[in-house]
Amino acid sequence: MNFRKRHGREDPEINLIPFIDVLLVILIFLMVTTTFSRFTALQITLPSADAEKAQEQPLQINVGIDSQNRYTINNNRVPVQNPEALAAELVAAVNASGRKNADPVIAIAADATATHQTVVNVLDAARIAGYAKVTFVAQTRGKK
């Protein structure tokens, strides 16, 4: 017995070549007919600046704290340890600068091993003296 079919059925096949040809024609048509227009830049009227005399730099009082928790104000060693005496030294440093009515910036440069309390003492001294502008000095780490 022969169970094979005499006429084999062929699988349907999609021919992609005409499809690709049509897509290429459409692509070429789009490339040829497309116009590339440049949009003009926004019309902006920039503000003008009337330069006046540069403002005077604010008075800066540098407070340093070393690793043994000793204070320096503008590179002068100060033998005080409590906030009240340190506030008096800050006021004296401002008066010594010649600008008594200035609102100075207190720049705190503390050693990495200085205790937290010494930094808080400087903050308290600035508060007692009535100086509200306080900043901390830091250095960037070099590449290792």
Overall number of domains in the chain: 1
- The answer on pLDDT for 144 being more than 60 is no
**CATH number of the domain residue 84 falls in:** 3.30.420.270
In a domain, 47, yes or no: no
Q: How far apart are CA 78 and CA 127, in angstroms?
A: 18
Q: What is the pLDDT of residues 74-97, one digit of tens each?
A: 989 998 889 999 999 999 999 888
- Model-wide pTM > 0.75: no
Find the range with the poorest average confidence among 9-18, 25-34, 125-134: 9-18
The predicted structure's pLDDT at residue 40 = 62
The predicted structure's pLDDT at residue 41 = 60
In a domain, 36, yes or no: no
In a domain, 51, yes or no: no
Domain coverage including residue 71: 60-136
Q: How many CB atoms lie within 10 A of CB 107?
A: 16
- Sign of the alpha-carbon dihedral angle for 100, 97, 104, 53: positive
| CA–CA distances in Å: residue 42 to residues 39, 45, 78 | 9, 10, 60
The predicted structure's pLDDT at residue 97 = 84
- Confidence bin at 44 (pLDDT 50/70/90): low
